[in-house]
Amino acid sequence: MPTNTVITDLKQVTIRFSGDSGDGMQLSGTLFSTLSAIFGNNISTFPDYPAEIRAPQGTLHGVSGFQVRIGSQGIYNSGDKADVLVAMNPAALKVNIDNLKKDSIVIYDSDSFESKDLEKALFITDDPFKELNLSTVQAIPVAITSLTKSSLQGMGMDNKEMIRSKNMFALGIVCWLFNRPLEIADQLLEQKFAKKPNLVQANIKALTDGYNYASNIHMTASTYRIETAENNKGFYTDVNGNLATVYGLIAAAEKSGLQLFLGSYPITPATDILHELSKRKDFGVKALQMEDEIAGISTAIGASFAGALAVTSTSGPGLALKSEALNLAVMTELPLVVIDVQRAGPSTGMPTKSEQTDLNQALYGRSGESPIVVIAATSPTNCFDSAYWASKIALEHMTPVVLLTDGYIANGSAAWKIPDMDEYPDIKPNYVQVNYKGAPEEWSPYFRDEESMVRYWAVPGTPKYMHRIGGLEKDANTGILSTDPDNHQFMVDSRKEKIDRIANDLPLLEVLGDKDADTLIVGWGGTYGHLLEAMMKIRGEGKKIAFAHFNFISPLPANTEEVLRRYKKIVVAEQNLGQFAAYLKSIYDGLDIFKFNRVKGQPFIVSRLVEEFIKIIDK
């Protein structure tokens, strides 16, 4: 296909597709991201869904966006602002005004910028670019809707069906702009709509015609080529956080030799975990959609008692509903993985937006002294390792583990090298027949390994190890019901000590940046990419700074206190009102902690982080 003769090389670029929730922006963005990953670029994506299921067409509340950042290096997050915006209507332009760089390119569907469209988006003039003071952007009008209809004439489709393919026409324009090969995009469409050949043909036709239209009119003075990444050899795919979580759970089940069981109830943005695991009967996965959150975790506890790797998945308000049953898993000391894909709260809050506001609930949201393990994934690809670690710890230490992800990394994607599972540690549950050295008749269900304090696991049906457990306190020696004060103190201490000793098996906390810095940036979970880039930009301005990010929260890595006490100033940045900062202060006295907190349902803005952190450094 013809291309512009002027090609400008770029190290990275950020593109945002935006339109109504029915305009197919998520599909266009996903295809372009996958195409770029296959082409050799590093990618980071941010699908930004509207909170309303279907707001009135053309209104501000119904705008759906998909942002992707691609490049050869330094792609740690989906980017602050876009170099290119595809706006399918005036509402998409208005909503994204703060997401545009000064000299960005705006490709917009001129067919959807009529007076009635401007009115729906609450414009008061007939010139939206002037009204929004966008004098520096390169605005490129394209009659995307009418050109798509012309492209698909004669294919036996009605008007509504033809308009549905306008996202592919827009994608074709972007593929021309960034020299993406359409042959691979065609293959992706064939895979996506394999059962609908007419839809495949229509989408490929619209995609190709969009590409050719941009090429024939030389839409911009230059097209762009993004440098490819120099990655280690191996097999790569693009993966979002929820899918990586699923793969991590399956890998842990295979490594441990156990059947994987998921008991769950659909809730945004965690539902994809249930969807994906329900497809994996080839790995013997049992995935049940239950009638509510309580039933979901209760079935998982039953499966754990029966000897499975048991998992339940949810988001914020669902974790609250699971708290009583989670307490039962603590008391019975059964392995259980609880995945909480955090979203904006409280209550049902903003279901499609992302926050880090469930930390306190994960740490403390149960009755009594109820310690558990809490892990936080740091990126879409890290969700695999985090799910594997959560499963390993749960099985080997006979404890519930809460794995915190969030909407940003669960829905966002990145290029992922498929791992060699031989490089991952074995998973060895503390089975009574394998590890308990006494006689069976002397065994009791709350006998523990002296080094780890983990009770021995006797899966029902194990010969000579009949037992019962439950929610009431038991005698440490006999396993029968007990209200003895000293026994209760011992059991409370034992359950806590078991969790504390897990720190001995965790990786040490790593510090990046300047070893002789006075200021340390601290983060946890899905903000890793933004904080890492902020640290690098600050160092680029000649200021010394260090950075430590936490995967493991309860217990903390064994060297945490030693690391924190090296620094005069500690900046804890999180998407809540200071939950992790308060947690650290409650454990380590005398730390000089500064807090940076944003609770907007949107990712951090790196430029804002840099500005605020430098102020703290210079104090």
User: 223 has which bridge partners?
Assistant: 7
Contact 63, 120 (CB under 8 A): no
Taking the CA atoms of 219, 222, 227 and 228 in sequence, report the sign of the dihedral they define: positive
CA atoms within 13 A on the CB side of 358: 33
Confidence class for position 220, pLDDT limits 50, 70, 90: confident
Confidence class for position 377, pLDDT limits 50, 70, 90: very high
Tell which phi-psi region holds residue 160, choosing left (phi > 0), alpha (psi between -120 and 50) or beta: alpha
Neighbours of 540 (CB within 10 A): 9
Q: Which helix (H) or strand (E) element contains residue 20?
A: strand 12-20
pLDDT at 1: 42
Amino acid at 563: V
The pair of structure tokens assigned to 414 is 């990145």
Confidence class for position 2, pLDDT limits 50, 70, 90: very low
Residue 571 sits at the vertex; the CA angle it makes with 567 and 574, to the nearest 5 degrees, is 145
Contact 319, 362 (CB under 8 A): yes
| pLDDT over 50 at 312, yes or no | yes
User: 64 has which bridge partners?
Assistant: 19
Amino acid at 165: S
Neighbours of 111 (CB within 10 A): 20
Summarised one tens digit per residue, pLDDT across range 139-170 is 999 999 999 999 999 998 999 999 999 999 99
Confidence class for position 5, pLDDT limits 50, 70, 90: low
Taking the CA atoms of 103, 15, 159 and 219 in sequence, report the sign of the dihedral they define: positive
DSSP3 helix / strand / coil % (the chain, rounded to 5): 40, 20, 40
The pair of structure tokens assigned to 454 is 């983990």
Confidence class for position 22, pLDDT limits 50, 70, 90: confident
Contact 67, 16 (CB under 8 A): yes
Closest CA to 457 of 434, 485, 473, 487: 434
Closest CA to 31 of 21, 19, 43, 20: 43
Q: If you ran DSSP here, which 8-state letter would residue 573 be given? A: E
Neighbours of 218 (CB within 10 A): 14
pLDDT at 231: 72
Contact 304, 276 (CB under 8 A): no
Summarised one tens digit per residue, pLDDT across range 472-502 is 999 999 999 999 999 999 999 999 999 999 9
Neighbours of 8 (CB within 10 A): 11
Percent of the chain with pLDDT over 90: 91
Contact 391, 253 (CB under 8 A): yes
Prediction pTM value: 0.95
- Residue 515: Cβ-neighbour burial (10 angstroms; 0-12, 13-18, 19+): exposed
| pLDDT over 80 at 229, yes or no | no
Summarised one tens digit per residue, pLDDT across range 529-569 is 999 999 999 999 999 999 999 999 999 999 999 999 999 99
Distance CA 330, CA 333 (A): 5
| pLDDT over 50 at 4, yes or no | no
Query: Can you spell out the DSSP letters for 234-299?
Result: S-EEEEEHHHHHHHHHHHHHHHHT--EEEEE---TTTHHHHHHHHT-GGGT-EEEE-SSHHHHHHH
Summarised one tens digit per residue, pLDDT across range 23-79 is 999 999 999 999 998 888 999 999 999 877 778 999 999 999 999 999 988 899 999
